[in-house]
A and B are shown apart, each in its own frame.
Chain A
Amino acid sequence: MPIRNFSIIAHIDHGKSTLADRLLQATHAVSDREAREQMLDSMDLERERGITIKASAVTVQHTYKGQEYELNFIDTPGHVDFAYEVSRALTACEGAILVVDATQGVEAQTVANAYLAVENNLELIPVINKIDLPAAQPERVAMEIEQVLGLPAEDCMYVSAKTGKGITELLDAICEKLPPPRPPEVEETRALIFDSNYDDYRGVIVYFRVFDGELNVGDKIRMMGTGRTFQITELGRHRPQPEKVKTLGHAQVGYMVAAIKTLEDVRVGDTITLDARPASQPLPGYKEPQQMVFCDFYPATASAESPSAGKKGEFEALRDAINRLHLNDASFTFETEHSEALGFGFRCGFLGLLHMDIVQERLEREGGVEIVQTAPTVSYQVELTGGEIVEIHNPADLPDPSTIRSIREPIVKVEIICPTENIGDLMRLCEGRRGTFKAQKFISEGRQILDYELPLAEIIYDFYDKLKSITRGYGTMDYDIVGYRQDRLAKVSILVNNVPVEALSLICHRDNAEQRSRLILQKLKKQIDRHQFEIPLQAAIGGKIIARESIKAVRKNVTAKCYGGDITRKRKLLEKQKEGKKRMKTIGSVTIPQEAFMAVLDQGE
């Protein structure tokens, strides 16, 4: 039976998951009754946020011109943070359906994903979705696709995943236009891992595509990247319900269970071969996921002074939650961290900002823990005077300035698609964030692409929010790491009552260090209550104070009236005053509310 392996790629919310569901329904893989929205996304969080986080693969059959085809549909994550995963899923395919919303047009991730597909030599079928909506402008969107991506407008297919219009034609086009899988290149078995997840009962479930040879239940396999070996206990494919099989052969897509205990042992992009007859070369393209954004997670109520007693439990609960989540998502890293301000917690690394948000949300939701998150930072490369290069992802770890020759920071290429009238404001935003203008391209009447190179550190907090507010929601962006660049960076330490508070320190450009520092100190001044003494707030680079503020001593804190009827209420108010302090962190003799640790984030534009 001829095989077609394909993905669906789209900007977020352009209807990828709905289209996938409709394809399953049209091939009778699921009954209409079973069809629920976003069938392929299994996590609640995905369903709620309308994004696909974990890729899945589904096998269906379609008859075209009297011939039965096996269609393997590989779902991909929609967001740039998972670009590597998208890219792995794409390498398992020969073609991709590029979905564009007929009411929105080409967006930043449409472009980014289309480029990824083209880089992986995939044949693209442009599909304009949501043509049933009154605001749909399919012809205009087709022109945008031609203008921006160079795909002829007349090749676009028009569908409505909601009503089912155009779905059969799309299935036919998949059979007709997408190329068949390449023939085997080597005799030994090679299969590409494009996804994995963790099941409490069966351990790690590995999703793969066979490129060469075949895999059978009982085979002893070897992961070429990690060198680990396992015995296959189960093979199967999703239709979309799992269906066990004995063998998966050339070009087929499926899953395996092989008593693999942790996701660490399975790297997306790695090549599976047989232990007895290993291939000499792995399939190309494997690389380690790169964590680019880092922050600390602390239990929300733990006190700095006493990780013991009842407080210990909160840290333990957080650790359990992180361990559990890590079984499902090995692409974030974590290590124990202790901060004098926030007590015991974890330093975590993420692929990007959305990834960070999702991990935090999953920890809170699935792990039932409350988290205080510190300001995210990026990963810096520090060249020491001895020539050695160290990678740091916590301002606190920055070596002594006298031993530093240079600091390099990650630079991203940001592609913004926005209404033409916002170009000026967005350019000002980018210039203010140390951006370098790269290009400005026309998409269609009223919409443009703006390319900038920006330090990742400048976009990790509120850049996206600013973009959205400037464009009233119409702007979209995508970014990709393009490398590291040296700049005049320095660590700014924040001193509260003359005590440096590492959790508040930051690395920033010298030119805006003073301005940033002043804003942070003003923020802290508002966040920290007056104490019984004056509290100096200082920002320093090395020994040099670059900004200062002070929190005046409390002058008056006394309940004026306390008579018979007031006693209970006043007592409760005072108890609250005392209680309130418990949720604060005490550094030296200053109590700092947890929110203050986020103060460093605000760039205050």
Chain B
Amino acid sequence: MPPLHTSTTAQITIEAPAIQGKNRAVTIEGILLADRPGGPRQWDIPGVYIHVPFCFHKCHYCDFYSIVDSHDRQQAFTQRLIQELNAASPVLCRSGPVETIFVGGGTPTLLAAQQWEHLLGVINRVMPHLDRREFTVEANPETVTAELADVLLSGGVNRVSIGCQSFNHHHLKTLERWHDPENVFRSVEILRQAGLANFNLDLIFAIPGQTLDDWLDDLDRTLALQPTHISCYGLMYEPNTPLTVKMKAGRIQPVEQDLEAQMYEATIDRLAAAGFEHYEISNWARQPLNPMATANRCRHNMIYWTNRNWWPLGPSASGHVEGLRWKNVPRLGEYLDGGPFPPIIDVEQLDQDGRIGEQFMLGLRLIEGMKLEEVEALLSHGRRGQQRRLAIERSLSEGYLVGLNGSLRLSRRGLLLADSVIAPLI
């Protein structure tokens, strides 16, 4: 983990993007990559996120950018993504080794096998295989085929994340999630046949109407599949999703807070008993034989939580370099028309104090917490160091935070109230 105070934000100043004429969209090239005296900048960019925006159906809880689209645009998208990859190549080559690639969506597995083949060829050229330690692709259980599995594996993919959400037909229907739970078993089987045993299963709890027993049943079925990683999310009512609209209209009743808390605690206990390391609020990794090893954690996501840099590719993908956050345009049409770097939106450069706040927000999500030296370093910088120190002391005295093994971390009680603990530190 890089110490924050060596990477203060003052090092990057956003310069007025070179906009000539109204129609010239802002790109990351204009902000970060403009030629300047002293040669090109170099950053350590250990992660790459690629967004594939296609779905065959939009699930009712999902707020990720995705569209239900024809094959024509998938081909155009693949071409365009390759163009973007090539454009980003100098940045990624200049930086330190890319350690992780994560392809999310949308439904990345909606791309045809030959599109994948093409794409993987370019990925492996731009980001040489040797540097890489984790290459994850998200998969919808309906779309995993033996052919695709072979293409992915031979292209270097070594981890698959399957969105199963629930094994219960009724609850899947509530989420408007159209897949047959049987296909999760089938997908896992196909992947194993192809030689891939490193997979994550995504689950959602606190689905309206779900009971604690329903949820424990989902957990048991999940464990039976012997994944290396499990993500369990309490259902979130994201703004502008059909689920939230229904909730506000009173057509569905959110699970009562106490039950949701029970489900979460049951998850923690159940997965611990099954030999999983709870390493982030919603994430569990199967404990390797060496109890000190962390091999099954999602390295890519660890980049987010440790506030390191990553590069985005594809429409609506977000990136982060040294406190500068941005998002590629979330509209496929504009993405396809732009180039080689796509237009970007939501550009944000936090000041030092803001970055410290984010560091706490992210770092405390990890169960191992933040090293005390790092906490001290953060508290000695920023405008609100003293306020943060008081808030931490209060949470310590209330038992929501604990100091353990040289780290500051959320207690078991604190985990359930993480937002209350973290909000004053932001």
Interface size class of A (residues with CB under 8 A): 20 to 34
| Chain A residues numbered 135-150 whose CB sits less than 8 Å from any CB in chain B | none
Is there contact, CB below 8 Å, between B233 and A561?
A: yes
Across the A-B interface, how many residue pairs have beta carbons closer than 8 Å? 98
Is there contact, CB below 8 Å, between B419 and A568?
A: no
Q: Which of B22-30, B35-43, B172-180, B356-364 is the interface stretch?
A: B356-364
Of the candidates A532, A565, A578, the one whose C-beta lies within 8 Å of that of B424 is: A578
Of the candidates A559, A562, A578, the one whose C-beta lies within 8 Å of that of B304 is: A562
A586 CB → nearest B CB, Å: 14
Whether A555 contacts B362 in the complex (CB less than 8 A), given A564-B310, A574-B423, comes out as no
Of the candidates B317, B320, B358, B420, the one whose C-beta lies within 8 Å of that of A571 is: B358
Q: Cα distance A556–B254 when bound, in Å?
A: 13
Q: Cα distance A489–B257 when bound, in Å?
A: 40
Instruction: Report A531-554 CB contacts with B as 1/0, cut-off 8 Å.
Output: 010000000000000000000101
Q: Which residues of B contact A556 (CB under 8 A)?
A: 234, 257, 260-261, 264, 416-417
Q: Cα distance A567–B323 when bound, in Å?
A: 11
Whether A565 contacts B417 in the complex (CB less than 8 A), given A530-B257, A571-B361, comes out as no
Is there contact, CB below 8 Å, between A558 and B281?
A: yes
Is there contact, CB below 8 Å, between A568 and B325?
A: yes
Is there contact, CB below 8 Å, between A570 and B325?
A: no
B200 CB → nearest A CB, Å: 13
Is there contact, CB below 8 Å, between A557 and B420?
A: yes
Instruction: Verify if A560 is at the interface (C-beta below 8 Å from B).
Output: yes
Instruction: Verify if A563 is at the interface (C-beta below 8 Å from B).
Output: yes
Is there contact, CB below 8 Å, between B419 and A559?
A: yes
Q: Which residues of A contact B310 (CB under 8 A)?
A: 564
Whether A562 contacts B365 in the complex (CB less than 8 A), given A557-B416, A574-B419, comes out as yes
Q: Of all chain B residues, which has the CB nearest A563?
A: B304
Instruction: Verify if A575 is at the interface (C-beta below 8 Å from B).
Output: yes
Q: Of all chain A residues, which has the CB nearest B64?
A: A565
Q: Of all chain B residues, which has the CB nearest A574?
A: B423
Q: Cα distance A565–B327 when bound, in Å?
A: 8
| Chain B residues numbered 234-282 whose CB sits less than 8 Å from any CB in chain A | 234-236, 257-258, 260-261, 264, 281-282
Whether A574 contacts B415 in the complex (CB less than 8 A), given A556-B264, A560-B282, A564-B320, comes out as no
Instruction: Verify if A67 is at the interface (C-beta below 8 Å from B).
Output: no
Q: Cα distance A571–B362 when bound, in Å?
A: 10
A559 CB → nearest B CB, Å: 6
Instruction: Verify if B316 is at the interface (C-beta below 8 Å from A).
Output: yes
Q: Which residues of B contact A552 (CB under 8 A)?
A: 258
B235 CB → nearest A CB, Å: 8
Instruction: Verify if A402 is at the interface (C-beta below 8 Å from B).
Output: no
Q: Of all chain A residues, which has the CB nearest B424?
A: A578
Q: Which residues of B contact A563 (CB under 8 A)?
A: 301, 304
Of the candidates A557, A561, A571, the one whose C-beta lies within 8 Å of that of B282 is: A561
Q: Which residues of A contact B418 (CB under 8 A)?
A: 557-559
Q: Which residues of A contact B376 (CB under 8 A)?
A: none
Is there contact, CB below 8 Å, between A555 and B257?
A: yes
Instruction: Verify if A577 is at the interface (C-beta below 8 Å from B).
Output: yes
Is there contact, CB below 8 Å, between B419 and A557?
A: yes
Q: Cα distance A578–B388 when bound, in Å?
A: 13
Instruction: Verify if B334 is at the interface (C-beta below 8 Å from A).
Output: no
Q: Which residues of A contact B361 (CB under 8 A)?
A: 562, 567, 570-571, 574
| Chain A residues numbered 569-594 whose CB sits less than 8 Å from any CB in chain B | 570-571, 574-575, 577-578
Instruction: Report B304-325 CB contacts with A as 1/0, cut-off 8 Å.
Output: 1100001010001111100001
Q: Cα distance A414–B424 when bound, in Å?
A: 54
Instruction: Report B165-209 CB contacts with A as 1/0, cut-off 8 Å.
Output: 000000000000000000000000000000000000000000000
Instruction: Report A344-361 CB contacts with B as 1/0, cut-off 8 Å.
Output: 000000000000000000
Instruction: Verify if B113 is at the interface (C-beta below 8 Å from A).
Output: no
Is there contact, CB below 8 Å, between A565 and B365?
A: no
Q: Cα distance A555–B424 when bound, in Å?
A: 18
Whether A558 contacts B318 in the complex (CB less than 8 A), given A564-B310, A578-B424, comes out as no
Q: Cα distance A575–B423 when bound, in Å?
A: 6
Is there contact, CB below 8 Å, between B423 and A564?
A: no
Q: Which residues of B contact A555 (CB under 8 A)?
A: 257-258, 260-261, 416
B342 CB → nearest A CB, Å: 15
Is there contact, CB below 8 Å, between B233 and A560?
A: yes
Q: Of all chain B residues, which has the CB nearest A562?
A: B365
List residues of A whose CB falls within 8 A of some B CB.
Answer: 530, 532, 552, 554-565, 567-568, 570-571, 574-575, 577-578
List residues of B whose CB falls within 8 A of some A CB.
Answer: 49, 64, 233-236, 257-258, 260-261, 264, 281-282, 301, 303-305, 310, 312, 316-320, 325, 327, 346, 348, 357-358, 361-362, 365, 398, 400, 415-420, 422-424, 426
By Cβ-Cβ distance, the 9 closest A-B pairs, closest first, are A555-B261, A565-B318, A560-B233, A558-B418, A556-B261, A560-B234, A557-B419, A578-B423, A574-B423
Can you report 29 A-B residue pairs in the complex whose CB atoms are below 8 A from each other?
A: A530-B257, A532-B417, A532-B420, A552-B258, A554-B417, A555-B258, A555-B261, A556-B234, A556-B257, A556-B261, A556-B417, A557-B417, A558-B281, A559-B281, A561-B233, A562-B305, A564-B310, A564-B320, A565-B64, A565-B316, A565-B327, A567-B318, A567-B362, A571-B357, A571-B358, A574-B423, A574-B426, A575-B423, A577-B419
